[in-house]
Amino acid sequence: MWLLRPWVTLLHELGHAFPAILFSTEQVSVRVGISKGTGLSFCKCLRVGFSLRRGHEGCTVYTIESSRTLQKLLILIGGPSASSFLCLLSGYLLFGTQISHVWMEVALVSWFCANGMVLLRSIIPMRLKPTELFPHGPQSDGLQIFYIITGHHEKCE
C-alpha cells in the first residue's frame, strides 16, 4: 500500500483538477509529494508535479471567482468522487469477479485499501497532519465543504 499511496493521491487530486480546469481563470496546478521541479505541463490548462517522496501529500491549486460557491463545491467533491469510484471499482473486481492469481488479489486489496484510506481522510471534516506547505495542517475536503455549506468564513487552505 505504501507504494500505491502517491498514485492514489495523484488520481484523487486529478479528481479535483478536472472540474477546476472548467471553472478556473488560470492554469490549474496539481502537486503530489515533495518535488524540486516545476512539474510537467499538459496543455496550457494543467501542470502536474509528482514525487514519491511524501507521496501521501497532495494539493490542487486553482483560481476562480470568490463568489462561485457551487463551482468550489464541485471542485472539492471531485477528489472524493474519484477516490470513491476507484474504491468501488476495485471492490467490484475483488468481490464480484473471479481472480485467478494471488498476486492480482493482493494488488487489488492494496489498491482498494489505499483508495479507501484517501477517501476517508478526505471526507471526514478535520484538519490533517501539518506539512511544510500547511504548518497548521491542511483542511480536509470535508471540512472545506462544511465551511462553505455553513457559511463559515475561515479561509480554505
Predicted confidence (pLDDT) per residue in 10-64, tens digit: 999 999 999 999 998 899 999 998 877 667 887 889 999 998 888 888 999 998 8
| Closest of 60, 49, 58, 52 to residue 18, by C-alpha | 60
- Is position 142 within any domain? yes
pLDDT in the model for residue 23: 92
Q: How many CB atoms lie within 10 A of CB 72?
A: 21
Does residue 22 lie in a domain region?
yes
Residue with cell 479561509: 155
25 within domain boundaries: yes
Domain carrying residue 143: 5-150
d(CA 25, CA 18) in angstroms, rounded, equals 13
pLDDT at residue 67 in the model: 64
pLDDT of residue 151: 86
Residue 24, CB-side half-sphere exposure with 13 Å CA sphere: 18
Entry pTM? 0.89
- 91 sits in the region (left: phi over 0; alpha: psi -120 to 50; else beta) called alpha
**Residues ≥6 apart with Cβ < 8 Å to 36:** none
Question: Structurally, how many domains does the chain consist of?
Answer: 1
Structural domain includes residue 40:
yes
Is 157's pLDDT higher than 50? Answer: no
Q: Mean of the pLDDT values across residues 123-145? A: 91
CB burial readout 119-132, b (16+ within 10 A) else e: bebbbeeeebeeee
Q: Exposed, middle or buried, 91 (CB in 10 Å: 0-12/13-18/19+)?
A: middle
**pLDDT tens digits for range 77-109:** 999 999 999 999 999 999 988 888 999 999 999
Q: Residue 45: inside a domain, yes or no?
A: yes
As a whole number of angstroms, the distance between CA 126 and CA 113 comes to 20
The answer to whether residue 155 is domain-embedded is: no
Which amino acid is residue 107, in one-letter code? A
